[in-house]
Structure 1
Amino acid sequence: MGAAGRVLLLAFCAAGIFSAYITQGVLQETLSTKKFGPDGSRFKHLPFLNFAQNVVCLVWSYLMIGILTKKSNNQAPLWMYWSPSLTNSIGPACGIQALKYISYPAQVLVKSSKMIPVMLMGTLVYGVKYKLPEYICTFLVAGGVSTFALFKSKAKSIPSPNAPLGYSLCFINLAMDGFTNATQDSISAKYPKTTAWHIMLGMNLWGSIFSFFYMFAWSGGGGVEAIKFCKEHPAAAWEILLFCLCGAVGQNFIFLTISKFGSLATTTVTTTRKFMSILVSSLWSGSPLSPQQWSGVMMVFGGLSVQIYLKWRRKNKPMVEKPRKD
Structure 2
Amino acid sequence: MIMGKVVSGKKYEYFEYLTAILISAGMTMFLLGSTEDKGSAGATTFSGVIILVGYMTFDAFTSNWQGELFQVYKMSSIQMMCGVNLFSCLLTSVSLLQQGAFGASFNFMLTHPNFMIDCVILSICSASGQLFIFYTIACFGPVVFIIIMTIRQGLAILLSCMIYSHPITIIGMMGITIVFLAIFLRIYCNHRLKQIKQRRATAEVGKV
With normalisation by structure 2, the TM-score equals 0.63
Matches within 5 A, 1:127-166: 130-131=13-14, 133-148=15-30, 150-151=32-33, 153-154=35-36, 161-163=42-44
Query: Hey, which of these two has a bigger chunk of helix by percent?
Result: 2
Matches within 5 A, 1:100-139: 115=1, 117-118=2-3, 130-131=13-14, 133-139=15-21
* Stretch deviating more after TM superposition (241-250 or 171-180): 241-250
- Which one-letter code corresponds to 1:299 in the other structure? I
Match of 1:210 among 76, 91, 111: 91
Q: Tell me how far 1:205 sits from its aligned partner.
A: 0.6
C-alpha contact (below 8 Å) 2:30/2:173 kept by paired residues: yes
1:311 aligns with 2:190: yes
- Looking at structure 2, the residues matched to 255 and 183 of structure 1 have their Cα atoms a distance apart, in angstroms, of 12
With normalisation by structure 1, the TM-score equals 0.44
- Looking at structure 1, the residues matched to 164 and 113 of structure 2 have their Cα atoms a distance apart, in angstroms, of 22
- Looking at structure 2, the residues matched to 182 and 198 of structure 1 have their Cα atoms a distance apart, in angstroms, of 17
Alpha-carbon deviations, 1:265-303, whole Å to 9, x = none?
x75865654443222333445544434223223323432
Match of 1:320 among 193, 200, 204: 200
| Larger RCO (CA within 8 A; separation ≥ 6) | 2
Partner of 1:177: 59
- Looking at structure 2, the residues matched to 263 and 196 of structure 1 have their Cα atoms a distance apart, in angstroms, of 13
Matches within 5 A, 1:1-326: 115=1, 117-118=2-3, 130-131=13-14, 133-148=15-30, 150-151=32-33, 153-154=35-36, 161-163=42-44, 168-192=50-74, 194-218=75-99, 242-254=121-133, 262-263=139-140, 267=145, 272-316=151-195, 317-321=197-201, 322=204
Counterpart secondary structure, 2:87: helix
Counterpart secondary structure, 1:154: coil
* 1:290/1:168 CA distance change after superposition, 3 Å: farther
CA-based RMSD of the aligned residues comes to 4.6
Counterpart secondary structure, 1:217: helix
Structure 1 residue ranges without an equivalent (≥5): 1-114
Q: Tell me how far 1:195 sits from its aligned partner.
A: 1.7
- Looking at structure 2, the residues matched to 214 and 325 of structure 1 have their Cα atoms a distance apart, in angstroms, of 64
* 1:247/1:145 CA distance change after superposition, 3 Å: same
C-alpha contact (below 8 Å) 2:16/2:186 kept by paired residues: yes
- Which one-letter code corresponds to 1:176 in the other structure? F
Q: Tell me how far 1:320 sits from its aligned partner.
A: 1.4
